[in-house]
Amino acid sequence: DQQVKQNSPSLSVQEGRISILNCDYTNSMFDYFLWYKKYPAEGPTFLISISSIKDKNEDGRFTVFLNKSAKHLSLHIVPSQPGDSAVYFCAGLNSGGSNYKLTFGKGTLLTVNP
C-alpha cells in the first residue's frame, strides 16, 4: 500500500528550462510534506518542505505547490542546472501523530542536460 506515489521514474530537461516533479499521496492524515534530493552513493539531502496550511512555498530556484483537494504536490525547479541531476524523493508525514515517521515515494530521477 503506497501512501506516497511518484509515478514518473525519470524526467529529462534541458538546462535553463523548468523541471516539474510530481507527487501524489493517499493518506489523508498527512499534513506536512518534504522534498529530498539524493546523489548516488550519498544520503538524501533536505530541499524544501510545505505545511498543509499553505499551498505554496518558495526557496530560491525551488518552489513546492500543494493541492490538498487533489492530494497532489509538485516541485518546480527554475532554472534547471546540470548539478540538479539527482533522484528526488517526496515524503509525507502526520505532524499531529508520529511527526517523525517520514513516508517516502520511490523517487524520480531528474537529468538536466547541458
Partner 1 sequence: NAGVMQNPRHLVRRRGQEARLRCSPMKGHSHVYWYRQLPEEGLKFMVYLQKENIIDESGMPKERFSAEFPKEGPSILRIQQVVRGDSAAYFCASSLWKGGANPDTQYFGPGTRLTVL
Which region, left, alpha or beta, applies to residue 4 given φ > 0 means left and ψ of -120 to 50 means alpha? Answer: beta
Stretch that binds partner 1, among 11-19, 55-63, 64-72, 103-111 (CB under 8 A): 103-111
Please say whether the beta carbons of 33 and 91 come within 8 A.
yes
By C-beta, is 51 or 113 nearer to partner 1?
51
In three-state secondary structure terms, 84 is helix
By C-beta, is 19 or 107 nearer to partner 1?
107
CB of 79 to partner 1, least distance (A): 26
Distance, in Å, from the CA atom of 59 to the CA atom of 40, rounded to the nearest integer, reads: 24
Q: Which of residues 15-74 bind partner 1 (CB under 8 A)?
A: 32, 36, 41-46, 49, 51
Report phi then psi at 103, rounded to 5.
-110, 115
Footprint of partner 1 (CB under 8 A)? 4, 6, 32, 36, 41-46, 49, 51, 89, 93, 95, 98-107
